[in-house]
Amino acid sequence: MIARPCIRVLKFGGTSVATPERWRQVRGIVEERLATGVRPVVVVSALSGVTNLLEDVLRALRLREPTRDLLADVRHRHERLADGLDVRDHSGYRAVLASLESHVDAVAGAELADRDRAAILAHGELASSALGAAWLRESGLSVDLQDVRQWVRASGDGAEGSHHPYLSAAARSERDPALQRRLLSRPATVTITQGFLACNDRGETVLLGRGGSDTSASLLGAILGATEVEIWTDVPGVFTADPRILPQARLLDRVSYDEAEVFATNGAKVLHSRCIAPLRAGGTPLSVRWIDRPDTCGTRVDGTEPRPGVKGVGLREGLCLLTLDRLGGGGSTHDFATVLAAFDRVGFALDLLATGRDRVQLTLDPRSSPGLEARLPDLVERLGLACRASLQRGVAAVSLVGHDLCGSLRELAAYLACLRDWSFPIVQHAADGHSFTVVATNGAARELHAGLHETLLLHGKDDIRTAPAWEQLDRTNTTTSSPPTPVLRAGAALGASS
């Protein structure tokens, strides 16, 4: 039976659009949605590795080095995919690649502006969407290739209010009922569009930050009044820890918006940390789905009130610890204002923080935005005018993540025991109550991360222990020759009512 038409946003990440097999899976998923009256809006990332290559092009331009081989590699990846899919109409993606090459030519030898950086990086998504649209059309679907810059607008005029208005812009998420009606009134059509990109009020291309295609999907979900946003990726969902680091990590079948956001900001790579906010306002659910096994349920993110308690362990590596000694008269608001002003000037966000009588210690994530790494010396120099500032690299943050951790202090006894006799410069309880973090400078982070996962989750919680582990799912995925059996049940991991 065909239900009333509704819109669903389906986002496919870089690895989910990089091979012919993956595109055939994409088509299968899209066809299934169409058959039930859904109007799919497909959001794609650049082919896996292409945004990194384009960053390499930018680096080469800055250093006045040749870009020819890098651009040839970008072209080759698209041609190889088009060959594998037997695409007949090459005009769309080849026009994008030609525009990329002429843009790079035009700026070679000149000082690069962020505006050019954004325009160059945007070509990855423009090319993958054009190629995918051609193939889906040739395989018999009615396809509309949409330029996402007509739908997703940066908030503000991009110049103020953000340090990275071109490379990591914020965007508007107000619903557009006219657009929604227009999509719903069309006969069964697939819309395919780009993640990562938006447009500012001057009509220029801006980007939503690395990994920002998830946020594009959520923004479109809110703008188009979608009933659900599906993030299709190469892992089955949100796990109790990063499954690539701890293969025994368990799959969570349901997390709240807050929890998903805290997981993302504390190191879970499966979702972009800014993709939750646009969904929360309208209560739009999001599901993380596994492209290799479309029959599995994945993780659902929605507004259900979760049980308090630890649900995962996060690890963020590659941070810097900044220590400020002899900061004026002992941490007064005036002294702290000096620190904030320097951060603001240089474009860093405050991360983790500990204050003492005449010492402040804080962490920075130089990879949180493009170009930050290069500004670190400027920050230390500015702060050096007000105090003694020193910077330590290679620092890691280990976090417990879960709803209202303060409401389950009993669990924290085991947490404190895991900290053993290590010492940590920063121990922080997040003001929202959903995470506890320690900053480790001495290589203890990985050991602590594994120990906390074992003690608090695998030994501490029966519902989590019995949920599917990544190592088991991964094995089922790669070694089955018979048709896979669905191994996941909604509600299995957290006893959530679904």
Question: Binding partner of residue 149 among ligand ASP, Mg ion, none, CB under 5 to 8 Å per kind?
Answer: none
- Return the number of the residue (146 or 215) whose C-beta is nearest ligand ASP: 215
Question: From the CB of 210, what's the least distance to Mg ion, in Å?
Answer: 9
Residue 45 CB, nearest distance to ligand ASP (Å)? 3
- CB-wise, 210 or 250, nearer to ligand ASP? 210
Q: Which is nearer to ligand ASP, 11 or 27 (CB)?
A: 11
Would you say 13 or 285 has its CB closer to ligand ASP?
Answer: 13
Which CB atom, from 165 or from 425, has the smaller least distance to ligand ASP? 165
- Residue 331, helix vs strand vs coil: coil
CB of 42 to Mg ion, least distance (A): 16
Smallest distance, ligand ASP to C-beta of residue 406, A: 33
Shortest reach from residue 208's CB to Mg ion, in Å: 11
Give least dist CB 258 to Mg ion, A: 20
Least Cβ distance, residue 330 to ligand ASP (angstroms): 42
Give residue for tokens 């949409």.
146
- Chain residues 188-217 in contact with ligand ASP, contact rule CB under 6 A: 195-196, 210-213
Query: Scanning the structure block, which residue is given the tokens 């962020």?
Result: 114
Tell me which residue of 130, 53, 138, 134 sits closest to 99, measured CA to CA.
Answer: 130
**Does residue number 211 form part of the binding site for Mg ion (CB under 5 A)?**
yes
34 vs 447: CA distance, rounded Å: 47
Q: In what order do the strands lie in the sheet with 435-440?
A: 353-355, 359-364, 309-325, 388-403, 435-440, 426-429
Residues in contact with ligand ASP, counted by CB under 6 A, come to a total of 12
> Looking at the DSSP assignment, which residues form a beta bridge with residue 389?
324
**Per DSSP, what are the bridge partners of residue 142?**
none
- For ligand ASP, the binding residues in 1-60 under the rule CB under 6 A are 13-14, 45-46, 51
Residue 195 binds which of ligand ASP, Mg ion, none (CB < 5-8 A, kind-dependent) = ligand ASP
Using the minimum distance from each CB to ligand ASP, give the nearer residue, 291 or 448: 291
How would you label 197-208 residue by residue, b for 16+ Cβ within 10 Å and e otherwise?
bbbbeeebbbbb
Tally of CA atoms within 13 A in the half-sphere of 99 that contains its CB: 15
Closest separation between CB of residue 48 and ligand ASP, Å? 8
- C-alpha pair distances (Å), 313 with each of 71, 112, 206, 391, 455: 40, 40, 33, 26, 11
> Whose Cβ is closer to Mg ion: residue 100's or residue 217's?
217
Binding at 46: pick from ligand ASP, Mg ion, none (beta carbon under 5-8 Å per type) = ligand ASP
Cβ neighbours around 330 below 10 Å, total: 12
Q: Which is nearer to Mg ion, 211 or 312 (CB)?
A: 211
Number of helical (H) and strand (E) elements in the chain, helices listed first:
16, 16
3 state SS of 42: strand
Residue with the shortest CB distance to Mg ion:
211
Q: Count CB neighbours of 174 within 10 A.
A: 12
Residue 14 interacting partner from ligand ASP, Mg ion, none (CB closer than 5 to 8 Å by kind): ligand ASP
* 404 burial via Cβ count (<10 Å: 0-12, 13-18, 19+): middle
CB-based burial label for 463 (10 Å; 0-12, 13-18, 19+): middle
Single out the residue of 40, 92, 124, 132 in contact with ligand ASP (rule: CB under 6 A): 124
Which region, judged by CB under 5 A, interacts with Mg ion, from 90-98, 210-218, 325-333, 457-465?
210-218
Angle between helices 123-138 and 91-107 (to 10 degrees): 170
Is 182 or 269 the residue whose CB approaches Mg ion more closely? 269
Q: How far is the CB of 116 from Mg ion (least distance, A)?
A: 24
Task: Please count the residues of this chain forming the interface with Mg ion, following the rule CB under 5 A.
Answer: 1
- Which value, in Å, is the radius of gyration of the alpha carbons in the chain? 23
Look at residue 124 and give the partner it binds from ligand ASP, Mg ion, none, a contact being a CB closer than 5 to 8 Å depending on partner kind: ligand ASP
Distance of closest approach, residue 286 Cβ to ligand ASP, in angstroms: 15
Please say whether the beta carbons of 190 and 136 come within 8 A: yes
| Residues in touch with Mg ion (CB under 5 A) | 211
| Residues in touch with ligand ASP (CB under 6 A) | 13-14, 45-46, 51, 124, 195-196, 210-213
